Amino acid sequence: MPAADSGKFLPLQSRLSYLADFAVYPAGIACAAAYLLVFGPHRERLEIAGAAIAGLLGWSLLEYALHRFLLHGPEPFRRWHLAHHRQPRALIGTPTIVSVLLLLGLVFLPACLLGGSWVATGLALGVATGYLGYAMTHHALHHWDKDMPWLRTRRHLHWLHHSRPGCEYGVSTSIWDRVFLSRSDS
């Protein structure tokens, strides 16, 4: 099989790279939270907390948009993501270095320029926490056999996404599928 069809879009995409999210993101989240708690100015704590909550909530829309419009959109992203659809139990995902650089470049730096480093750190903390929740949920959907009601529902909706094109883009929530009418029953 040619390298372009393997789904490996970077030399860094490997089992280790896939699993790195589950070490790098918890460590980064813990460090950022500790940094904000220890060094963050008391007068900005409410604003920082608001930014973290906004980042966490904003992640769900970002997750939906990236999945629907990028991973199911233009090449080569579409081809790379289809490798996951063809092999749903394979450890195929965005390399951690890529997601970290995107987080820094698309979230932290613009927020730093607009709202300062404390607010930017809070926002990035929220987005990173949302991303980790997504990564854990997506991994659980494909690799855990636990029979928990929430996970069962998410697994069913994600299976619909894999089997029917054009629906159920939300992995960790269906809020945006409802808003944008991309539910399987819409």
Determine the pLDDT at residue 111. Answer: 97
Determine the pLDDT at residue 186. Answer: 56
Determine the pLDDT at residue 3. Answer: 42
Give me 88's structure tokens.
């749903």
Domain boundaries, the chain: 9-140
- Residue 21 amino acid letter: D
109 contact partners, CB below 8 Å, separation of at least 6: 120
Q: How many CB atoms lie within 10 A of CB 127?
A: 26
The number of residues in the chain equals: 186
Report helix, strand or coil for 76: coil
Alpha helices, DSSP H, located in 3-116: 15-39, 45-65, 77-86, 96-103, 109-115
Give the global pTM: 0.89
Determine the pLDDT at residue 102. Answer: 92
DSSP result, 91-144: -----HHHHHHHHIIIIIHHHHHHH-HHHHHHHHHHHHHHHHHHHHHHHHHHH-
Average pLDDT of each block of 10 consecutive residues along the chain (186 residues)?
Answer: 45 77 97 98 97 97 95 86 87 87 96 97 98 96 91 94 91 96 86
